Structure 1
Amino acid sequence: MTQLPPVSPHSSLPLLDTDVLRTFVAIAECGSFTRAARQVFRTPSALSMQIKRLEETLGHALFVREARQVRLTPEGETLLGYGRRLLKLNEEAVTQFLAPSVSGRLGFGTTDDVGTRILPGVLAQFARSHPAVQVDVVVGSSREMLARLEAGELDLILVTAGNPGQEVRGEIVHSAPLVWAGREGGLAAQRSPLPVALAHSGCAWRGMALEALDRAGLSYRIAYSCEHCAGQEAAMLADLAVAPFPLSLVRPPLKRIDPGLLPPLGEYQLAMVRRPGADQACETLAGQVMAAFQKL
């Protein structure tokens, strides 16, 4: 008599339904069954039944239900991480087989302050969804990126908006505070005239800094000038100067200088510009860039 192979002890484990996981994540992110119901186009009672079955399947309560909101239990917090990863993996798998095959080359240009923040995650995500598309990345000044876009060398660029002499192009995708920064424990901020490290002539950061200093009547000297913000960072690390810098990039041993010591700089903006006639791959990358900025 032929013996059947042994059954794996894991074969009887229940499978998590993708639709139910999507409902669970929506409720967790909205903090409300009612708001989540509007998002997934179902009734709150239908969502309640889904979550009840999910809790019965896992043997744990996932939400603490309060008067006007719900919050996750410890088990719910654990499932949220798994749920997001499973939904993302499901999306990638479906995209791999159902999305139209796209190949070719895509030129993407960006300023260096952007590259250190969002590029790694965005490029990794794009590579998974469009593995046949070659992405060539160029990092440089906003002026250079715009010129290369006009020349047809780049398809999508991120540039600082408001640079002197630069026409308004594209759409604003990010606004962030520009602050004065220097080395923690350094003396540059106390020197007179104030030593400042600035980017190239025509940079919005440079214009904002010089205008603020002139308006405040502070004595200063340009002690360090560089095409890239990495050069400004080097000058600050050496305590040679202070510099206008995005708040999100100020990390130890750099620190934000006390706002009471130097004049405020305001916010700077980043614009995304597409080449006219850009294809579907470019539009996808543009969407992923915008989504990455929304998470900052």
Structure 2
Amino acid sequence: MTLPTLSSQSGALPLLDTDVLRTFVAIAESGSFTRAARQVFRTPSALSMQIKRLEETLGQPLFVREARQVRLTPEGEVLLGYGRRLLKLNEEAVTQFLAPSLEGTVRFGTPDDVGTRILPGVLAQFARSHPAVQVDVIMGRSADMLQRMDAGELDLVLVTAGNPGMEMEATRGDVVHTEPLVWACREGGVAPRRSPLPVALASHGCVWRSAALAALDRAGLPYRIAYTSEHCAGQEAAMLADLAVAPFPLSLVKPPLRKLEQDAGLPPLGDYQVVLIRREGIGSASEALAGHVTDAFRDLRR
């Protein structure tokens, strides 16, 4: 659905006010005029007037007002995407001219399965906002990333929470992503029907591996570890070849892979979390990159 063409007597399109867009996004994300009012430090009545003028400008209703909440109309959903992008561009433009120029190097560690999902967008946007900062990315196991950070070799690390022996370390940071872990296989493959069940796992110490083995043992299902890989690409290769099933994040299950449903008889695996941990005493450049990483995971959930 697209918004209608707008025009005024002079033939010029009206401009959307950034302050009003910020109000609109706050209401849409909170589902409440009252909660949004606290976020933008205005009264609910002031927000109502802003939204009324915005709806008049666009000639479309943006919210359906219900007893306990408000929800977006189809037109409002379209505007929300535009609004978020416009606010982000506005922030980048202001930062470019008014924010202190950041320089230096940020050393960032991440597991490959986590980093590859957000790094292209994060690095591109961070480079536009802070062109004088060099980012060194190191990929490896979560446990190794933590050890290197504690040794002073890394400034920021992403780790998967729940790894054996890492429960306390994970509490040092902020949970930036939670996602279901599911059993996956090749569409139309025969691997799920083999006995014992062939399983492709990550290397020792990975939360996916420990969750899968614990679930299979609790269920009493016969299985064999057919393939082990330090990177998720190895698990994916085994599934694509129809040689094994594997525990995989739901967002990474893309055709020709498919999620195995509960009727396949495999036990549920639950969720896993991604945690962002900062080394003590990191500088402004590292904090800025941490903000970009957090925003990227928030965008994944939308």
* TM-score of the pair, normalised by structure 2: 0.84
Matched, 1:137 2:140: no
**What is the root-mean-square deviation in Å for CA atoms of aligned residues?**
2.6
* CA distance 1:93–1:213, change in 2 (3 Å): same
Q: Which residue in 2 is equivalent to 1:291?
A: 295
TM-aligned CA deviation for residue 123 of structure 1 = 2.2
Q: Deviations over 1:61-98 (max 9, x none)?
A: 44356453555556555544433332222211111122
Checking the alignment, whether the CA contact within 8 Å between 2:192 and 2:244 is kept in structure 1 is yes
Q: Which residue in 2 is equivalent to 1:259?
A: 262
Q: Which residue in 2 is equivalent to 1:171?
A: 173
Q: Which residue in 2 is equivalent to 1:220?
A: 223
- State which drifts further: 244-253 or 142-151: 142-151
Aligned match for 1:277, one of 275, 278, 281: 281
Q: Which residue in 2 is equivalent to 1:44?
A: 44
Aligned match for 2:209, one of 206, 210, 215: 206
Q: Which residue in 2 is equivalent to 1:3?
A: none
- State which drifts further: 272-281 or 59-68: 59-68
Structure 1 residues not aligned, in runs of 5+: 1-8
TM-aligned CA deviation for residue 238 of structure 1 = 0.2
State how far apart, in whole Å, the 2-side matches of 1:94 and 1:116 are.
29
**Overall identity of the aligned pairs, in %:** 73
State how far apart, in whole Å, the 2-side matches of 1:228 and 1:159 are.
14
State how far apart, in whole Å, the 2-side matches of 1:157 and 1:135 are.
13
Equivalences, count: 287
Q: Which residue in 1 is equivalent to 2:153?
A: 153
2:62 is matched by which residue type in structure 1?
Answer: F
State how far apart, in whole Å, the 1-side matches of 2:237 and 2:82 are.
41
1:281 is matched by which residue type in structure 2?
Answer: A
- State which drifts further: 101-110 or 86-95: 86-95
Q: Deviations over 1:226-253 (max 9, x none)?
A: 1111100100000111111112211111
Aligned match for 2:183, one of 171, 180, 183: 180
Structure 2 residues not aligned, in runs of 5+: 1-8
* CA distance 1:20–1:269, change in 2 (3 Å): closer
Tell me, what secondary structure is at the counterpart of 1:178? strand
* TM-score of the pair, normalised by structure 1: 0.85
- State which drifts further: 233-242 or 15-24: 15-24
TM-aligned CA deviation for residue 213 of structure 1 = 1.9
